[in-house]
């Protein structure tokens, strides 16, 4: 058996085994149940509430929760943008960077080590890596509480949720990971650079900075923005096999854990397992497709057993590069340890498709799961129509407003991708900013707007997107892709929180059965195919067939 295949199987097994207890821990934290960290960090938590003037016992309605999310994010966006502008960075690029990190996208039209200084990366980027990830989990738990309870006063307190996620979940995990990464050789320095004398006697510039601390939360928060332009293909960010394994694991661990946290949160573990299985099946299918595409590559004079090594680090090979490509596009992370632009046409097809499905195959922390819940509600409704049953989910009836919000959750990403890439394809200057002619040039444009519209952040790396047109259109796409689904999720939560439960009967549709899991997978693929197949046919499919 191929060594990389064994490593992939080990990776998948470890991911699931660690995610189950982590999911239970996350749910305990979000429902204020005691944990081993509670006594130690509770004084810090209460001090945070006093500092920002928050009463943790006050519940917010779905509307109030959304307003506070928007106010918090808008303040972060404005402060981020002003800091970059007054640091001398172009206002258009500053808007793109600020939009990217506030929206948990972390798309980068620049090289971090040459555009930003260490203090900017530590103060601005790393801070948003924490809080933007915490916003996603907080919004998810507003919906979980609404699905769990009946006639609730509210769906929670945004600032309490935000504080708990950062303090009890992200900070401990990121601290532990940063220490381990530092031990593997990931740079952690307060200096911006140093120089070294090469064997030939010349001076070489070496960029430095607080890399390990940013790298940890970059991966755990499904952020993905690299300290260096080459991201995790850079040895200073990802030097060893162990660091590669842990960084890739950090991408997917919280999104998987949230499936099990959801099951515990709604007091029905089978529901969480059903969603996990649906996501996992789609993930494995995409992984197999990319793995086979990268190894089914034959060029005269090149050993075919190595697979397609163009744009890949010899330290990791084609197999572990394919694994990372699938994890980062499935989990809305966007970091890379190889250049996706160098993948075979069908090798690049599957990562692109995972994003175009709406980033619901695990997806971003929080956002992926509430996006998948939109597909769950849509599947419940369609199935109910087919068999003549009133649509219900978790013993709550699905009303027209719930269906409208589910449709918004399912279609926002495909709509933004198609509009953005369509406008870019018609923009006269677009094709002067791509490095390849013909079909692949369109694939580069499509991938760029797919990444922005799905809040992913990865790139084909053949698109020079640092122009006013791309900075503005992609920045707006990232913000809409982030906050329109948040609005729909909290609107859905507000509808669900006031509903009473209906008693189960023989006519109740089971939403944890193998049949329902199959229908859910079918609907995710059907909507993705109907929305995106024409664009994919003009890009990677056409290139692959040629």
Q: What is the DSSP string of 43-109?
A: HHHHHHHHHHT--TT----HHHHHHHHHHHHHHHHHHHHHHHHHTT--HHHHHHHHHHHHTT----S
Q: What is the pLDDT of residues 246-288, one digit of tens each?
A: 999 999 999 999 999 999 999 999 999 999 999 999 999 999 9
The pLDDT assigned to 100 comes to 95
The pLDDT assigned to 303 comes to 65
The helix/strand/coil state of 271 is helix
- The DSSP code for 300 is T
Report CA-CA distances (Å) from 322 to 128, 266, 288, 381. 28, 35, 9, 36
Sorting pLDDT into bands at 50, 70 and 90, what band is 546? confident
Which tokens sit at 217?
């939360």
The pLDDT assigned to 180 comes to 97
The pLDDT assigned to 262 comes to 97
Q: What is the pLDDT of residues 452-501, one digit of tens each?
A: 999 999 988 778 888 999 999 999 999 999 999 999 999 999 999 988 88
Residues 6+ apart with CB under 8 A from 120: 83, 84, 87
The pLDDT assigned to 299 comes to 60
Minimum mean pLDDT among 57-61, 323-327, 435-439: which range? 435-439
Classify burial at 92, counting beta carbons within 10 Å of its beta carbon; exposed 0-12, middle 13-18, buried 19 or more: middle
Q: For the chain, give the mean pLDDT.
A: 91
Handedness of CA 469, 470, 476, 481 (dihedral sign): positive
Q: What is the dihedral of CA 285, 289, 295, 299, to 10 degrees?
A: 180
The pLDDT assigned to 499 comes to 87
- Other C-beta atoms lying within 10 Å of the C-beta of residue 459: 23
C-alpha to C-alpha distance for 80 and 269, rounded to whole angstroms: 40
Pairing state between β 392-393 and 396-397 = antiparallel
The pLDDT assigned to 132 comes to 96
Residues 6+ apart with CB under 8 A from 54: 157, 159, 160
The pLDDT assigned to 509 comes to 81
Q: What is the pLDDT of residues 69-81, one digit of tens each?
A: 999 999 999 999 9
Asked whether the predicted pLDDT for residue 349 surpasses 90, the reply is yes
The pLDDT assigned to 304 comes to 66
C-alpha to C-alpha distance for 499 and 88, rounded to whole angstroms: 52
Report CA-CA distances (Å) from 459 to 65, 91, 324, 443. 33, 22, 14, 11
Minimum mean pLDDT among 227-231, 346-350, 353-357: which range? 227-231
The pLDDT assigned to 104 comes to 95
- Report yes or no: 358 and 532 within 8 Å, Cβ to Cβ: no
Sorting pLDDT into bands at 50, 70 and 90, what band is 298? low
The position carrying tokens 């595409």 is: 293
Sorting pLDDT into bands at 50, 70 and 90, what band is 12? very high
Q: What is the pLDDT of residues 168-177, one digit of tens each?
A: 999 999 999 9
Report CA-CA distances (Å) from 497 to 161, 201, 388, 511. 17, 70, 26, 20
Sorting pLDDT into bands at 50, 70 and 90, what band is 207? confident
E strand or H helix at 205, and its extent?
Answer: strand 203-207
Report CA-CA distances (Å) from 17 to 5, 7, 325, 519. 19, 15, 22, 26
C-alpha to C-alpha distance for 346 and 537, rounded to whole angstroms: 11
Query: Whole-model pTM?
Result: 0.95
The pLDDT assigned to 52 comes to 92
- What is the average per-residue pLDDT within 57-67? 95
Asked whether the predicted pLDDT for residue 301 surpasses 60, the reply is no
C-alpha to C-alpha distance for 90 and 432, rounded to whole angstroms: 21
Q: What is the pLDDT of residues 87-130, one digit of tens each?
A: 989 999 999 999 999 999 999 888 777 788 778 888 888 899 99
Asked whether the predicted pLDDT for residue 328 surpasses 80, the reply is yes
C-alpha to C-alpha distance for 531 and 536, rounded to whole angstroms: 10
Q: What is the pLDDT of residues 397-423, one digit of tens each?
A: 999 999 999 999 999 999 999 999 999
The pLDDT assigned to 190 comes to 84
- Report yes or no: 293 and 340 within 8 Å, Cβ to Cβ: no
C-alpha to C-alpha distance for 489 and 147, rounded to whole angstroms: 12
Which of 111-115, 298-302, 345-349, 433-437 has the highest average model confidence (pLDDT)? 345-349
pLDDT more than 70, % of the chain: 98
């Amino acid at each position: 058996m191929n060594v990389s295949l064994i490593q992939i199987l080990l990776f998948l097994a470890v991911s699931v085994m660690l995610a189950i207890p982590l999911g239970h821990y996350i749910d305990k934290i979000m429902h204020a149940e005691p944990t081993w960290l509670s006594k130690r960090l509770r004084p810090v938590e209460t001090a945070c509430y006093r500092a920002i003037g928050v009463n943790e016992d006050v519940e917010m309605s779905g509307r109030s929760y959304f307003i506070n999310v928007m106010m918090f994010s808008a303040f972060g966006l404005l402060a981020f943008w002003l800091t970059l502008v007054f640091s001398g960075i172009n206002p258009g690029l500053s808007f793109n960077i600020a939009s990217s990190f506030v929206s948990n996208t972390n798309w980068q039209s620049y090289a971090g080590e040459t555009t930003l200084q260490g203090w900017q990366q530590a103060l601005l980027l790393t801070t948003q890596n924490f809080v933007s990830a915490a916003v996603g989990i907080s919004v998810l738990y507003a919906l979980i509480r609404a699905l769990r309870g009946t006639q609730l006063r509210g769906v929670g307190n945004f600032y309490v949720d935000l504080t708990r996620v950062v303090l009890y979940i992200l900070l401990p995990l990121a601290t532990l990971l940063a220490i381990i990464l530092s031990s593997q050789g990931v740079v952690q320095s307060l200096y911006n650079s140093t120089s070294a004398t090469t064997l030939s006697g010349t001076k070489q510039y070496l960029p430095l900075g607080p890399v390990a601390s940013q790298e940890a939360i970059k991966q755990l928060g499904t952020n993905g923005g690299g300290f260096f332009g080459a991201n995790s293909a850079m040895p200073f960010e990802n030097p060893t096999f162990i660091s590669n394994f842990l960084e890739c694991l950090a991408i997917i661990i919280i999104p998987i854990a949230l499936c099990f946290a959801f099951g515990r949160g709604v007091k029905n573990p089978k529901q969480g397992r059903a969603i996990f299985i649906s996501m996992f099946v789609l993930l494995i299918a995409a992984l197999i497709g990319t793995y086979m595409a990268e190894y089914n590559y034959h060029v005269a004079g090149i050993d075919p057993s190595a697979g397609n090594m163009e744009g890949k680090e010899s330290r990791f090979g084609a197999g572990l590069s394919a694994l990372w490509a699938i994890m980062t596009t499935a989990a809305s992370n966007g970091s890379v340890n190889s250049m996706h632009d160098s993948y075979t046409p069908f090798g690049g097809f599957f990562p692109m498709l995972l994003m175009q499905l709406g980033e619901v195959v695990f997806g971003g922390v929080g956002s992926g799961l509430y996006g998948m819940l939109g597909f769950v509600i849509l599947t419940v409704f369609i199935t109910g129509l087919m068999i003549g049953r009133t649509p219900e989910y978790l013993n709550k009836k699905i009303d027209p407003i719930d269906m409208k919000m589910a449709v918004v959750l399912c279609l926002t990403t495909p709509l933004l991708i198609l509009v953005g890439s369509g406008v870019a394809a018609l923009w006269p200057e677009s094709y002067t900013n791509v490095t390849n002619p013909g079909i692949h040039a369109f694939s580069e444009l499509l991938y760029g707007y797919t990444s922005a519209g799905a809040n992913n952040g990865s790139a084909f790396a053949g698109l020079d997107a640092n122009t006013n047109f791309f900075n503005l259109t992609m920045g707006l796409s990232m913000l809409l892709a982030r906050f329109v689904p948040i609005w729909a999720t909290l609107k859905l939560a507000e509808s669900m929180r006031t509903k009473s439960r209906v008693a189960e009967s023989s006519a109740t549709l089971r939403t944890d059965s193998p049949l329902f899991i199959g229908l859910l997978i079918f609907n995710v693929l059907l909507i993705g195919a109907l929305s995106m197949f024409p664009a994919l046919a003009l890009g990677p499919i056409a290139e692959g067939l040629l």
